[in-house]
Structures are given as structure tokens and as C-alpha cells.
Amino acid sequence: MVKYIKIAETKDIPPNTMQVFKLKEIEILVVNVEGKYYAFENRCPHLGYPLYYGNLNGEVLICGFHSAKFNVKTGESLGAVTQESLKVFRTTIRNSSLLIEQDS
């Protein structure tokens, strides 16, 4: 069964920006690319540093520490720094709320 947990209002994440929200003990990075929302654990799979200090270049998220690149739409690694993908959370919008889907 899927649970939906509200973590933000969509207005809090303007297009082409990213924000961090807490869900229990997990920091979740939400990225808005042209009005679509993508959510990941705020932890780079290379050495574990926060992705929030990185940059967005269109659909590419670039870690601010050693420049690992990830496809925002899939979470997949795009370069040689790490082969590991981001931990992806599925998102849904209901009214103006951004919800994270969690299997229970």
C-alpha cells in the first residue's frame, strides 16, 4: 500500500531551483525543472555530501563537491565520478501540495 506524505507547497520551490525538506530523519532534495518536481535523498552517492550545495543545469544536477552529474528525471549518474544513482522518491501533486509516495 502506498502512503502519501506532504513535504511542501509547490510555491515554495520556484522553477529551476531546488530546496531541502525534512521527512523524519531523511533530508529530501526537491528539484523543480520547468514545473515538474523530482525528489531525491539529499546525499551524493559518491562520498555522501549534501547535493543541495550543487547546481542545476537544465535536467542535470551537478554535485558541488567533486562535480558528479546526475539526470534529474531518472536519478542516474551521468559521469565517471560515481556509477551509483541518486535515491529517488516518487512525487505527486495534490492541489498545491507536493507529496512524497512511500510504500508502507
Provide the grid cell at 68. Answer: 558528479
Cell digits for 54? 550543487
Q: Which residue from 36, 66, 73, 90 is in contact with ligand FES, where contact means CB under 6 A?
A: 66
CA 64, 67, 70, 72 torsion-angle sign: positive
Task: Please choose, out of 6-14, 24-32, 42-50, 96-104, the segment that lies near ligand FES by the rule CB under 6 A.
Answer: 42-50
**Per-residue DSSP letters for 70-84?**
EETTT--B-SSS--P
Shortest distance (Å) from residue 87 CB to ligand FES: 13
**Is 52 a residue that touches ligand FES (CB under 6 A)?**
no
Where do contacts with ligand FES occur on this chain (CB under 6 A)?
A: 44, 46-47, 49, 63, 65-66, 68, 81
